[in-house]
Amino acid sequence: MKIGINLSINNDRDYKTALIKQLKIFEEIKFDNVEISPGCSGIIKNGLLDKRECSKFLDILSSYGFSYTVHAPYEMNLVSPLLLKISEKVMKSCIDLCVMLDSDVLVIHSGYITPADKMSESEALRILVGSLKKWGRYARDSSVLIGVENGDLGFTHLCREIDKLIDVVKNVNMDSVGVTFDAGHAFISARYYKFNFLEAVKNVAPYMIHMHLHDNYGEFDPLSPDKKNIVFGYGDLHMPIGWGKIPYREVFRLIKGRYKRELYLLEIDPKFKEYYGYAAAKLKEMLSS
């Protein structure tokens, strides 16, 4: 069993200092894994890896004892013809970065339909399957797994409904492509789309290669479902687990013995950074109960 945490540094003027500061905090808490988002590190420019910046970045990361996973930029879209060319450049760079980091998992979002695309959801999902087959081969040859994340209620996601994501992965039918199950996204989506959350957990467990864990209240703003408002308890709040209403003990019971990698990645909003240690301890307590 390994416990991980997401690295969250957004447009910091001194990225190197901020990176080292966060890694030292993670080291003190004794996290095993850190998830890297190259979109906010400056190491990808115009879709390509910047070798000079990569070298600096990797020098810092290699001085710590963490394993690493990689989260592709949220804007990457393997569905839209309008964005496909640049997105494929970014996808290749992300897989190549995984190789440099000796990371075995790349998390991607499923993409989205832009207003200019004029396609149905079923057509978009068909294109997604084709794209994942292509990149699944490249990932396989690079010893990397692609974990497609179930979406939240924001506009940047297809596959908010777990059964649709399962269908995509089954249609790709490659060992190198599976599901990154985001419990927080699924909990809100279950309320919005009216599916059974725990039943979805049970169904997706055989396809899971990675997990994102955070908490919320399962509520959404009826006027703007993608918005977050902690005062009203709305949205994908990315709180420490145990603060909201997600029944994590049941989740862990349902996936026990079925989620083989056993890496549990806390994806917590940095506004709650003083509770990273609490969240790690709470997660360990739940997993051992």
Give the pLDDT confidence score for residue 157 in this predicted structure.
Answer: 81
Residue 218 has pLDDT above 80, yes or no: yes
Tell me the mean pLDDT in the region 121-147: 97
Give the pLDDT confidence score for residue 289 in this predicted structure.
Answer: 82
Query: CATH: 1.10.1060.10, 3.90.1150.10, 3.20.20.150, 2.130.10.30. Which one for 2-288?
Result: 3.20.20.150
Q: How far is CA 84 from CA 68, 73, 81, 112, in A?
A: 27, 14, 5, 11
Residue 154 has pLDDT above 90, yes or no: no
- CA nearest neighbour of 269 among 231, 232, 224, 228: 228
pLDDT digits (tens, 9 = 90+) for 242-282: 999 999 999 999 999 999 999 999 999 999 999 999 999 99
DSSP 123-171: HHHHHHHHHHHHHHHHHHHTT-EEEEEPP-SSTTBS--SHHHHHHHHHH
Identity of the residue numbered 127: I
Residue 126 has pLDDT above 60, yes or no: yes
User: Could you tell me the residue ranges of all domains in the chain?
Assistant: 2-288
- d(Cα 162, Cα 11) in Å, to the nearest integer? 32
Dihedral sign, Cα of residue 140, residue 8, residue 4, residue 230: negative
Give the pLDDT confidence score for residue 132 in this predicted structure.
Answer: 98
Give the pLDDT confidence score for residue 39 in this predicted structure.
Answer: 77
Q: How many CA atoms lie within 13 A of 125 on its CB side?
A: 17
Residue 141 has pLDDT above 60, yes or no: yes
Q: Which residues of 2-19 are buried (b: 16+ CB within 10 A; e: fewer)?
A: ebbbbbbbeeeeebeebb
- d(Cα 75, Cα 62) in Å, to the nearest integer? 27
Mean pLDDT of the chain: 94
Residue 164 has pLDDT above 90, yes or no: yes
Residue 10 has pLDDT above 80, yes or no: no
CB atoms within 10 A of CB 258: 13
pLDDT digits (tens, 9 = 90+) for 58-106: 999 999 999 999 999 989 999 999 999 999 999 999 999 999 999 999 9
Q: How far is CA 185 from CA 11, 91, 188, in A?
A: 25, 23, 6
Give the pLDDT confidence score for residue 94 in this predicted structure.
Answer: 97
Q: What percent of the chain lies above the pLDDT cut of 70?
A: 98
- Cα Dmax for the chain: 50
Residue 235 has pLDDT above 60, yes or no: yes
Residue 288 has pLDDT above 70, yes or no: yes
Residue 12 has pLDDT above 60, yes or no: no
* 288 class by beta-carbon count within 10 Å (0-12 exposed, 13-18 middle, 19+ buried): exposed
